[in-house]
Amino acid sequence: MSHVVLAGGVGAARYLTGAVEAFDPATVTGVVNVADDLVLHGLHVSPDLDTCTYTLAGAIDPERGWGLVDETWQAMAELGRYGGANWFSLGDRDLGTHLYRTARLHDGATLTEVTAEITAAWGLACRLLPVTDDRIETRVGLTDDREIGFQEYFVGMQHSIDITGVRFAGAEQARLSPTAIEAITGAEALVIAPSNPIVSIGPLLAVPGLQELIEARREHNVAVSPIIGGAALKGPADRMLRELGEESSVVGIARRYRNLAATLVIDEVDRELAAAVEDAGMRSIVMPTIMNQPGVAAALARACHDITTGV
Amino acid sequence: MSHVVLAGGVGAARYLTGAVEAFDPATVTGVVNVADDLVLHGLHVSPDLDTCTYTLAGAIDPERGWGLVDETWQAMAELGRYGGANWFSLGDRDLGTHLYRTARLHDGATLTEVTAEITAAWGLACRLLPVTDDRIETRVGLTDDREIGFQEYFVGMQHSIDITGVRFAGAEQARLSPTAIEAITGAEALVIAPSNPIVSIGPLLAVPGLQELIEARREHNVAVSPIIGGAALKGPADRMLRELGEESSVVGIARRYRNLAATLVIDEVDRELAAAVEDAGMRSIVMPTIMNQPGVAAALARACHDITTGV
């Protein structure tokens, strides 16, 4: 038994929490996006890996939805004194993670190794694997002709401007994590988490070899739609899809994912679109997908597993 | 009127506080040691510059004698969770300074520029100048045949092992700060602060050109002895002197400094050694030098200025 999840940030983190509740955590693996990673003030910050880690550890701040609970902001206050760039808030506790990661990477450790050390320190029994140990960087093209980093668009500008395109700098040269290849190849169930399809799942697929690996096992894969009732629960996935000329609906998601997975799990509010999803080329399963109540994420993980393993 | 101070950490910081009290702060310049600087977890840490800045800003922690007051240690606690190297404690507030410095250096700013920005943000009217914008690194040879970085010896090992020698890696290639050259050349008074002669003043003099500049104006220079009654007030200067075969006394200091300055200020407890200082080749002035009471540092700065300017 093994359950592998293609993962971005918040949505994937919640899904993974359900998976480790539903199954033996040691059988659960997240293959996580690193294209949002950034070097900030010399520190290597991995937002999606940290969101998954902190959420699985029960240490994520429940109000903000990112970063650690019981956080303080003394370093940012002093940085502000100097007029330093503090648009990306690094809490004092959170800084401990970035200091550790940066030091280990400087020592020559891979991001995979550092991530294993960090998750172990938080007592996680599941695995989080960066999709690659190489640097990929999501670059967002804007309607004002600029191209900026993803976090600058997402956090710095609060995604307040329309996009014209997205590219993943460095992806062509990136090498897929051997551990991730092994996990995916051997996975009983592979789930595309309800993450932003463009900037969370997109960069995973941009790493040479991953898309082929996933497509080759399409019948054993299932995706959970990140779009519910036409909108993203969190983040700009809905707007980004529209701005790139796609449909912000479960049907739009089905068109994106139909070569990757046989089945799309859609929320009950989208029940009427189930047939359209099937027309777009994916089997559809309708069930609660909003993971804000106890048990929803675990039930979702169980259903995904059963779908892919034919139970 | 201008008053230039060759400066290390705590002792120099206190002296500088007296100088800005005694004179127009805009006329006071510290030329500061950077050979204790280290890159820690990817961050550029400048202990002596920060000690001077925080002390002059009245923001140094009075109990510890280093770092900022009202400090918290959340980042270090998390770093400890991961088993990261936390022998060098970086407070959360203090981290703001290191984040800013590191980001600006990555941007291509010089340490001189960044230091000016940091001191301005703290409202300092005097100048602190890194002796060089290049990297110098104090390396300490130990009796167990190892050679380690200064902070590892000083903070990590609490200087608990005897030393066999000290060298300043990179010093030969380092270029003396042009601003520092200008300040020293134009200084009415030049004072060697009561800092560790081996690892604070030593690396300043190791930057090619500085020693010659100082020696050329010997008559207008004065040193304040960091050794009082045979001991250092703080730090391992006394032990280091003895371990390197020198005398841990004002006479030992006079032998070190006699080519650099005409006068040595010694504390009242060393009154009996005044003649021996003269015999060693420096004029001696006896006065209170322990800067732990209001007014002592300012009186010391005034006396140093008067001595060098012949008032």
Q: Give the nearest partner residue to B75 out of A41, A93, A103, using CB atoms.
A: A93
Q: What is the mean pLDDT of chain B?
A: 96
How far is the C-alpha of A288 from the C-alpha of A282, rounded, in Å? 18
* A81 interface with B at CB cutoff 8 Å: yes
Which chain A residues have a beta carbon less than 8 Å from that of B78?
68, 93-97, 100
How far is the C-alpha of B7 from the C-alpha of B52, rounded, in Å? 8
Q: Give the nearest partner residue to B100 out of A82, A92, A99, using CB atoms.
A: A82
| CA B87 to each of CA A101, A281, B8, B142: distance values in angstroms, whole numbers, following the listed order | 17, 58, 21, 19
What pLDDT score does B309 carry? 82
What pLDDT score does A234 carry? 87
What pLDDT score does B86 carry? 86
Distance in Å, alpha carbon of A302 to nearest chain B alpha carbon? 32
The residue in chain A having the minimum alpha-carbon distance to the alpha carbon of residue B95 is A75
Whether B82 sits inside 8 A of A94 (CB atoms) is: no
The residue in chain A having the minimum alpha-carbon distance to the alpha carbon of residue B41 is A103
Q: Output the pTM of the full model.
A: 0.94
The token duo for B273 is: 């050694």
Whether B75 sits inside 8 A of A92 (CB atoms) is: yes
What pLDDT score does B311 carry? 59
* B69 interface with A at CB cutoff 8 Å: no
How far is the C-alpha of B161 from the C-alpha of B142, rounded, in Å? 7
How far is the C-alpha of B91 from the C-alpha of B81, rounded, in Å? 16
The residue among A37, A40, A71, A82 with the most chain B CBs within 10 A of its CB, best to mutate, is: A82
The residue among B46, B95, B119 with the most chain A CBs within 10 A of its CB, best to mutate, is: B95
* A302 interface with B at CB cutoff 8 Å: no
Which chain A residues have a beta carbon less than 8 Å from that of B68?
78
How far is the C-alpha of A176 from the C-alpha of A58, rounded, in Å? 29
* Residue B242 pLDDT class (50, 70, 90 cuts): very high
Distance in Å, alpha carbon of B94 to nearest chain A alpha carbon? 7
Residue among B161, B228, B230, B238 nearest B198 (CA): B238
Distance in Å, alpha carbon of A179 to nearest chain B alpha carbon? 22
Which chain B residues have a beta carbon less than 8 Å from that of A77?
93, 96
What pLDDT score does A257 carry? 98
Mean pLDDT score, B11-26: 97
What pLDDT score does B189 carry? 96
The token duo for A116 is: 């294993």
Query: Chain A, 176-195: which have a CB under 8 Å from a chain B CB?
Result: none
Distance in Å, alpha carbon of A96 to nearest chain B alpha carbon? 4
Whether B95 sits inside 8 A of A78 (CB atoms) is: yes
Residues B262-283: tens digit of each pLDDT: 999 999 999 999 999 999 999 9
The answer to whether B150 touches B269, Cβ cutoff 8 Å, is no
The residue in chain A having the minimum alpha-carbon distance to the alpha carbon of residue B39 is A103
Residues B22-41: tens digit of each pLDDT: 999 999 999 999 999 999 99
Whether B97 sits inside 8 A of A76 (CB atoms) is: no
Residue among B9, B5, B3, B14 nearest B293 (CA): B14
What pLDDT score does B65 carry? 87
Whether B99 sits inside 8 A of A75 (CB atoms) is: yes
The token duo for A252 is: 């739009």
Please tell me the least confidently modeled range out of A203-207, B150-154, B168-172.
B150-154
Residue B43 scores a pLDDT above 90: yes
Whether B41 sits inside 8 A of A100 (CB atoms) is: yes
* Residue B96 pLDDT class (50, 70, 90 cuts): very high
What pLDDT score does B159 carry? 87
The answer to whether A227 touches A192, Cβ cutoff 8 Å, is no
Whether B103 sits inside 8 A of A42 (CB atoms) is: yes
What does the DSSP 8-state code read for residue B175?
P
Cα radius of gyration (chain B)? 18
Distance in Å, alpha carbon of B57 to nearest chain A alpha carbon? 13
| CA A29 to each of CA A195, A211, A265: distance values in angstroms, whole numbers, following the listed order | 16, 18, 20
Whether A102 sits inside 8 A of B42 (CB atoms) is: yes
What pLDDT score does A273 carry? 98
Question: What percent of chain B is modeled with pLDDT above 90?
Answer: 92
Q: Which residues of chain A have pLDDT under 70?
A: 311
Write the ipTM: 0.92
How far is the C-alpha of B207 from the C-alpha of A275, rounded, in Å? 77
The token duo for B19 is: 């100088």
Residue B234 scores a pLDDT above 90: no
How far is the C-alpha of B310 from the C-alpha of B283, rounded, in Å? 13
How far is the C-alpha of B149 from the C-alpha of B163, rounded, in Å? 12
Which chain A residues have a beta carbon less than 8 Å from that of B40?
103
What pLDDT score does A311 carry? 58
B3-36+130-135+171-309, what's its fold?
Answer: Rossmann fold (3.40.50)
Mean pLDDT score, B94-121: 98
Query: Chain A, 41-60: which have a CB under 8 Å from a chain B CB?
Result: 41-44
The residue in chain A having the minimum alpha-carbon distance to the alpha carbon of residue B75 is A96
Whether B84 sits inside 8 A of A96 (CB atoms) is: yes
